[in-house]
Amino acid sequence: MTMSTGTVTGPGAPPDRNLAHSGLRRRNHVSRFERTIRLVWIAVVLLLVGYPLYQIVARSLVEPGGSVGLGNYGLLGSEPQLLQATLNSLWIAGGTAAGALLIALPMAWILSRTDMPLRGMFRGAAVLTFSAPSFIAALGWVLLLGPNNGALNNLLMSVFGLETAPFDIFSPWGIIFVLSLFTYPLILLPVTAALDGIEPSLEQAAAGLGASRFRVLRTVTFPVIAPSVIAGTILVFVTSVVIFGPAAILGAPTNFQTIPTVLFSLLKFPPRIEAAAVVAVPIMVMIAALLYVRSKFLRGRRFTVIGGKPGRRGQIRLGWFRPVALLFCTGVLLLSLVLPFGMLALTSFRKSIGRPIGGDNWVLWDNYDKVLAQPQFLSAMGNSFLLAATATIAALAIAVMASWLRQRTTSKANSIIPAFMSAPLALPGAILGIGMIISFAGQPFGLGGTVFILFIAYTAHALPTCFQYVNAGMGQVGGEVEEASRSLGGSWLRTWRRITIPLLTPSLIAAGMLNFVILLRELEMSVFLYTGANPTLATVLFDLANDSLYQQVGALSVLVLLVNVVVTLAMLRLSRPKATG
């Protein structure tokens, strides 16, 4: 008698060992994959951010005899130029923050709440202003308000019969003026978004109870947008306190030193690395503290006033004030974009700066030919495009790993990921450049004067923006889709390639384009890491300006701006919500 064997099924059947083993193998594979991603991410972030940060702090503690101590920090009190540069930077940053607020707050209210025409154009102009290089704008204002041959000064002198130029851009007020015009979008854009998101019924209810328009603004509207105002103002302050280009271009003729320019002078031969590190450390601490306050304020004072679909908001009719509002916004557009960059474009067609525009002082392509004939131009252009592209791709890859760990795993250590990815914000261009010099220029790496040291710096610089975009995108992509792919036998690499990355494409494109534009014209780090053998477009522009070759500066600026404008417009178009029907 033969007994047949089979599988017992039913409620009392034992579990299928093959299925159990399969689930165990899958969990082990997940664990190995997670550990691999985590180790790779930790190693890369420590190399890009942790190691330079450690080296800056460590070098500041190395005293002349080789001992370790705080003796070097006495330089801050014994060398007046260091203290004065710090005070100058704080003055510039405070003045710029105030100037940016004076521009951004009324403009945000006008663009969000009123019936002024061309509001969309002015919003787009603010984005273009943010993407335009501020040091190129400073060069444009030198050509307009320079005390000797500034075109606008010359015009005012001839019209009003003045013997001396009425304005001098080479002053602290000139630096504040230029920076205010190019940092106001950091406040305008988030505040406008906050105003757009307020539930209209709240303001309508306050007005219906008899509150005046000013009281509604003070008691309802402003408390809601306050976090955006404060966050944007801190970002303007942090950006301005360590910005190099405009401070170097507009402050050099009067020997007005700021923190980045004095750091630059400390690295000239013979370099004083320890002194530069001593200046850098307190600035890093201050910036980190401000950014921490900014993040805590936004988390601790979040005003949630939108519930469901926002109501319909009626636009405020400006009446007789409409031309004034339009004139104000047009003035900001003229001062931030049209005048400085238009002057640079005009200068690119001039033979001589000191002669009137037009007539025999007009050429077509001569200055462009001179730029293209520059021995370093082709090398600089190739380096800038290569660095902007590869560093952006590398930063996006690191951001994808960090975002996946943050959104898809449950380790307690995940809470530190945003802090590490945002750490480069506390290492602005000049300080990050010093960190790269200390860390990688000498032995054992020996990367000084190479393009690779710029690649490392650019990648670190791009991490915060890439992580912000990619992490937000990863949070919108449900993990169930990846789990379904894995349960059907797809490998992790195949799942990422076929599902995760395609779903993240909008975030990757937005972050990639934004960082490409920023890195293509990057000057703050490049000028510290530039040795003559690794030029970029920004360092070539800076050298031309130092040699007062403003016609060639104008020609090269036009070429750089055209690339920036094309990429920025493409980014705006791709990020625009698609209509659904």
The pLDDT value given to residue 2: 46
The arrangement of secondary structure in 29-64+348-576, i.e. its CATH architecture, is Orthogonal Bundle (1.10)
- Give whole-number Cα distances, 508 to 8, 395, 443, 472, 573, in Å: 51, 10, 35, 11, 15
Where in the chain are the domains?
29-64+348-576
Mean pLDDT of the chain: 82
The pLDDT value given to residue 393: 95
Question: pTM of the entire structure?
Answer: 0.82
- Tell me: the pLDDT tens digits for 49-87? 999 999 999 999 988 877 888 888 888 878 888 889 999
Report residue 402 as tokens: 């960090």
Rounded to whole angstroms, the Cα distance separating 154 from 148 reads 8
Q: How many CB atoms lie within 10 A of CB 321?
A: 14
Compare 191 and 575 and report the one with higher pLDDT. Answer: 191
Most confident of 50-54, 268-272, 404-408, 577-581: 50-54
The pLDDT value given to residue 1: 43
Report residue 462 as tokens: 């791009």
The pLDDT value given to residue 299: 63
The pLDDT value given to residue 215: 67
> Contact at 8 Å (CB) between 42 and 49?
no
> Contact at 8 Å (CB) between 49 and 270?
no
The pLDDT value given to residue 144: 93
Compare 453 and 300 and report the one with higher pLDDT. Answer: 453
For residue 316, the one-letter residue type is I
Please tell me the total number of residues recorded for the chain in this structure.
Answer: 581
Q: How much of the chain is in helix, strand and coil states, percent to nearest 5?
A: 75, 0, 25
- Least Cα distance to 134 among 429, 353, 425, 421 occurs for 429
Least confident of 31-45, 459-473, 478-492, 511-525: 478-492
- Give whole-number Cα distances, 141 to 37, 50, 175, 252, 340, in Å: 48, 39, 10, 15, 5
**What is the DSSP code (8-state) at residue 440?**
I
Residue 19 pLDDT exceeds 60: no
- Give whole-number Cα distances, 90 to 236, 241, 243, in Å: 12, 6, 11
The pLDDT value given to residue 4: 46
pLDDT band for position 101 (cuts 50, 70, 90): very high
The DSSP element (H or E) to which 39 belongs, if any, is: helix 17-45
> Contact at 8 Å (CB) between 449 and 533?
yes
Task: Give the alpha-carbon dihedral of 201, 207, 209, 210, to 10 degrees.
Answer: 180
**What is the DSSP code (8-state) at residue 303?**
-
Rounded to whole angstroms, the Cα distance separating 32 from 252 reads 56
Helix axes 119-131, 505-520, angle to 10 degrees: 60
Least confident of 121-125, 200-204, 279-283: 200-204
Please state the φ and ψ torsions of residue 155, each to the nearest 5 degrees.
-65, -45
Mean pLDDT of 402-408: 88
The phi-psi region of residue 5 (left if phi > 0; otherwise alpha if psi is between -120 and 50; otherwise beta) is beta
